[in-house]
C-alpha cells in the first residue's frame, strides 16, 4: 500500500512547480504532467547528460519528473482545452505554476474547474501570489530571493549580497505547496468533501524560511547581517569557516562555560601537533571573551591564535578533522561537496539513494525524503519522453475524484480542526 495511491494529480507546471508533483509522485499519487507541443521548458535546462542537448537529456527534468505520465495538450486550441477539463474533472489535485491569470485567460481557471469538479484542490504557485500589487510582475529566482529577504543574509559583509547558486525560491514554494495541498486533501476527506483553491507565493515561502530575521526587525532587535565565514562582535571578527587540506570546515572557536571547553580541547590537539606553545594552549578559554573585551588580552593576540589554528587546519583533511572531533569533543563539521554527500556512509545506511534506469544507464538520485513504517515511498521509474502517455491517458474512461465523504455546503471550521498534535 502506498500513501497517495488512490489520488490523481494534474500538473500544469514547468521548473516553477514540478518539485511539488515530484513529491506527490514519490508518495504514490498518479501524477500526469501536461506539456505543450515541443515539451516543457524545464527540458531545456542544463546540465545535460553527456553534454548532449535534447528534450530527453536534461538532468533538471530527470530530477523532478521521474514517475510522472506525460500528456501533450495544446491549450491554445479548443480541443486541447476540452481534453484538459476532462482530465481535471476526474482529478483530486491540480498544480499550476504558469503565473497569475494565465489559465483564467484560457477559460481554464479555478472557477471553471471547480464548478465542474467541486472536490478539486487547485494549487497555484507564482512569484508573488495571484493578487496584490506585484502579482503581474515578471520574476526570476534572483529577484524572488532578494524580495523575500534571504539575500540580505548571504555573502561577505563588505561585498554585494549573494543568491544561493542553485535556484531555490520555487523549491521552497513547491515544498510548501505539497504541504498545503495535503492539508486541503485532509480537510476534504474528513470535514467537507469539497476542494479549494490554494494561492501560494514564492516570495512568501522564502520569507518563511528566514522569518527569524523578519521578526527581529519587527520588534526593533538588532538586524541580522551577512556573516559569510564568521561574525563580527564589537569590531572583533570571530572566524567560523576555516580552510583545510581538501576544502573547508565549520569550526567553532568560542568561549564561556558552554563553548570554552570545546576550544580548550581543540588547543590541546593543536599543541600536540606542534603548532602552539603551552602558554597558548593553556589560555583561560572559559573567560577569554571577557579578557579580550576588557583589554587584558590584546585583539592582536587573538588574531595570532586564529592564525595558529588556521595553519593547523591546513594540514588536515575534512575527514581527519571530523573523525577526531568525535574523539576529542570538538565543534567541527565538514563543508561537504556533492561528491562528499554522494559517498556519505550515513546516507547510504539510511538508504537515501535511489537508482533509476534511464535508457541504457543507471542514474542515482536522492530518493525517499522520510521513512514511513507502513506506507513507504515508492521507487520512481524513469522520466517520461514528451507525450509518452498521451494516448494511454486520454483513451481512459472518465474518472471520479476519490472523495471520502459527501460534500457539505457552507462548510465551517478550519482545515485541521479536530486533529490533535503533541509537540
* Joined grid coordinates for residue 251: 569550526
Q: Superfamily assignment of 8-211+345-394 in CATH? A: Crotonobetainyl-coa:carnitine coa-transferase; domain 1 (3.40.50.10540)
What is the pLDDT, as a whole number, of residue 352? 93
What is the pLDDT, as a whole number, of residue 147? 93
Contacts of 72 (CB under 8 A, 6+ apart): 34, 35, 36, 37, 39, 386, 387, 390
For residue 170, the 8-state DSSP code is H
Comparing C-alpha atoms, which of 131, 133, 138 is closest to residue 110?
131
For residue 91, the 8-state DSSP code is -
What is the pLDDT, as a whole number, of residue 282? 98
Q: Does domain 230-336 have CATH number 1.10.10?
A: no
For the chain, 423 residues long, give each residue's pLDDT as a single digit of tens: 789 999 999 999 999 999 999 999 999 999 999 999 999 999 999 999 999 999 999 999 999 999 999 999 999 999 999 999 999 999 999 999 999 999 999 999 999 999 999 999 999 999 999 999 999 999 999 999 999 988 888 888 788 988 988 999 999 999 999 999 999 999 999 999 999 999 999 999 998 887 777 677 677 776 677 777 888 777 788 899 999 999 999 999 999 999 999 999 999 999 999 999 999 999 999 999 999 999 999 999 999 999 999 999 999 999 999 999 999 999 999 999 999 999 999 999 999 999 999 999 999 999 888 889 999 888 899 999 999 999 999 999 999 999 988 988 888 788 998 889 999
Neighbour count for residue 48 (Cβ, 10 Å): 18
- Between the alpha carbon of residue 205 and those of residues 22, 29, 59, 102, the distances in Å are 18, 24, 25, 21
What is the pLDDT, as a whole number, of residue 177? 98
Per domain, the residue ranges of the chain are: 8-211+345-394, 230-336
Q: Note whether 170 and 15 are within 8 A (CB).
A: yes
What is the pLDDT, as a whole number, of residue 217? 67
What is the pLDDT, as a whole number, of residue 225? 73
Q: What does the alpha-carbon distance between residue 181 and residue 263 come to, in Å, rounded to a whole number?
A: 47
The β-bridge partners of 31 are 9
**Gyration radius from the chain CA atoms:** 27
Helix residue spans in 219-317 (DSSP H): 256-272, 278-281, 288-293, 299-313
* Joined grid coordinates for residue 254: 568560542
What is the pLDDT, as a whole number, of residue 44? 98
Buried b (16+ CB within 10 A) or exposed e, 376-387: ebbebebbbebb
* Joined grid coordinates for residue 284: 583561560
Amino acid at each position: 500500500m502506498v500513501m497517495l495511491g488512490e489520488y490523481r494529480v494534474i500538473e500544469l507546471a514547468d521548473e516553477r512547480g514540478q518539485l511539488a508533483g515530484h513529491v506527490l509522485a514519490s508518495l504514490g499519487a498518479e501524477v500526469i504532467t501536461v506539456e505543450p507541443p515541443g515539451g516543457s521548458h524545464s527540458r531545456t535546462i542544463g546540465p545535460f547528460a553527456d553534454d548532449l542537448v535534447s528534450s530527453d537529456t536534461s538532468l533538471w527534468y530527470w530530477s523532478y519528473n521521474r514517475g510522472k505520465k506525460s500528456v501533450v495538450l495544446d491549450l491554445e486550441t479548443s480541443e486541447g482545452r476540452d481534453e484538459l477539463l476532462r482530465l481535471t474533472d476526474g482529478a483530486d489535485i491540480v498544480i499550476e505554476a504558469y503565473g497569475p491569470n494565465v489559465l483564467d485567460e484560457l477559460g481554464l481557471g479555478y472557477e471553471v474547474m471547480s464548478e465542474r469538479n467541486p472536490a478539486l484542490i487547485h494549487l497555484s504557485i507564482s512569484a508573488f501570489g495571484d493578487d496584490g500589487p506585484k502579482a503581474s510582475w515578471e520574476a526570476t529566482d534572483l529577484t524572488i530571493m532578494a524580495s523575500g529577504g534571504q539575500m540580505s543574509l548571504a555573502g561577505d559583509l563588505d561585498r554585494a549580497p549573494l543568491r544561493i547558486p542553485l535556484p531555490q525560491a520555487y523549491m521552497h514554494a513547491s515544498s510548501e505547496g505539497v504541504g498545503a495541498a495535503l492539508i486541503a486533501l485532509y480537510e476534504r476527506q474528513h470535514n467537507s468533501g469539497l476542494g479549494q483553491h490554494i494561492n501560494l507565493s514564492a516570495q512568501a515561502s522564502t520569507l518563511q524560511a528566514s522569518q527569524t530575521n523578519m521578526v527581529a526587525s519587527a520588534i526593533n532587535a538588532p538586524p541580522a547581517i551577512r556573516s559569510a565565514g564568521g561574525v563580527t562582535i564589537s569590531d572583533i571578527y570571530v572566524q567560523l569557516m576555516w580552510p583545510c587540506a581538501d576544502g573547508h570546515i565549520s569550526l567553532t572557536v568560542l568561549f564561556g562555560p558552554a563553548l570554552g571547553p570545546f576550544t580548550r580541547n581543540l588547543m590541546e590537539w593543536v599543541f600536540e601537533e606542534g603548532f602552539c606553545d603551552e602558554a597558548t594552549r593553556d589560555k583561560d578559554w572559559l573567560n577569554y571573551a571577557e579578557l579580550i573585551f576588557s583589554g587584558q588580552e590584546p585583539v592582536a593576540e587573538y588574531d595570532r591564535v586564529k592564525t595558529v589554528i588556521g595553519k593547523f587546519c591546513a594540514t588536515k583533511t575534512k575527514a581527519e578533522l571530523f573523525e577526531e572531533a568525535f574523539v576529542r569533543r570538538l565543534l567541527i563539521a565538514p563543508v561537504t561537496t556533492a561528491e562528499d554527500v554522494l559517498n556519505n556512509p550515513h546516507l547510504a545506511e539510511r538508504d537515501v539513494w535511489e537508482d533509476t534506469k534511464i535508457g541504457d544507464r543507471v542514474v542515482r538520485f536522492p530518493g525517499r525524503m522520510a521513512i514511513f513504517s507502513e506506507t513507504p515511498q515508492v521507487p520512481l521509474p524513469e522520466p517520461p519522453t514528451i507525450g509518452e502517455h498521451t494516448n494511454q491517458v486520454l483513451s481512459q474512461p472518465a474518472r471520479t475524484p476519490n472523495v471520502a465523504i459527501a460534500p457539505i455546503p457552507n462548510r465551517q471550521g478550519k482545515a485541521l480542526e479536530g486533529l490533535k498534535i503533541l509537540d
